[in-house]
Amino acid sequence: MSEDEMVKTGKDGRGGRSENLFLGVEEASREAKAAMTAEDQEWWQHEVTARMIRLARYMAAGAPVDAPEVQAELDIHYASICRFWAPNAAAYKGLGQSYVDDHRFRRACDRIAGGLAVYQRDAMAVYADAWLR
């Protein structure tokens, strides 16, 4: 079964039903964003960019993804995501992978530093394993 077929049918490729990790995310995100003022949205976008720049600096300095300062950034990231949706460990890892797979996000990261999307994904996986269930 192809990945597209698995997504369409909800099957995990072994005949069972797969867990929809992002169930309700779009609706919750739309509602949270609609509740934000224009100033809130501008502030949030500034914070996301600043966080990505800080991660890029850690990456450039050779900090491993499990370094305390990197994980502190991920703690802030997770808290900001929870404003829209509270992912469990598997969903947070999936979100990190989507940052690599989604060409728009990856391009935004690459404008800051090449390889940043992969670095963030890997840091998110460490964070999820350490702090989420």
Q: Is the pLDDT of residue 65 over 60?
A: yes
pLDDT score of 17: 45
pLDDT score of 32: 66
Confidence of residue 93 (pLDDT cuts 50, 70, 90): very high
Chain-wide mean pLDDT for the chain? 82
pLDDT score of 67: 98
- What residues have CB less than 8 Å from 52, skipping those under 6 apart? 108, 109, 112, 116, 120
pLDDT score of 48: 87
Tell me the C-alpha distance between 126 and 105, whole Å.
Answer: 20
**What letter does residue 13 receive in the DSSP assignment?**
S
Confidence of residue 26 (pLDDT cuts 50, 70, 90): low
pLDDT score of 15: 45
Tell me the C-alpha distance between 19 and 56, whole Å.
Answer: 32
Confidence of residue 34 (pLDDT cuts 50, 70, 90): confident
Residue 108 token pair: 């935004």
Residue 31 token pair: 């509602």
- Vertex 31: Cα angle to 100 and 22 (nearest 5): 40
- pTM of the predicted model, to two decimals? 0.74
* φ/ψ of residue 11, rounded to 5: -90, 145
Q: Is the dihedral of CA 28, 34, 38, 39 positive or negative?
A: negative
Q: Is the pLDDT of residue 11 over 50?
A: no
Burial of 23 (0-12, 13-18, 19+ CB in 10 A): exposed
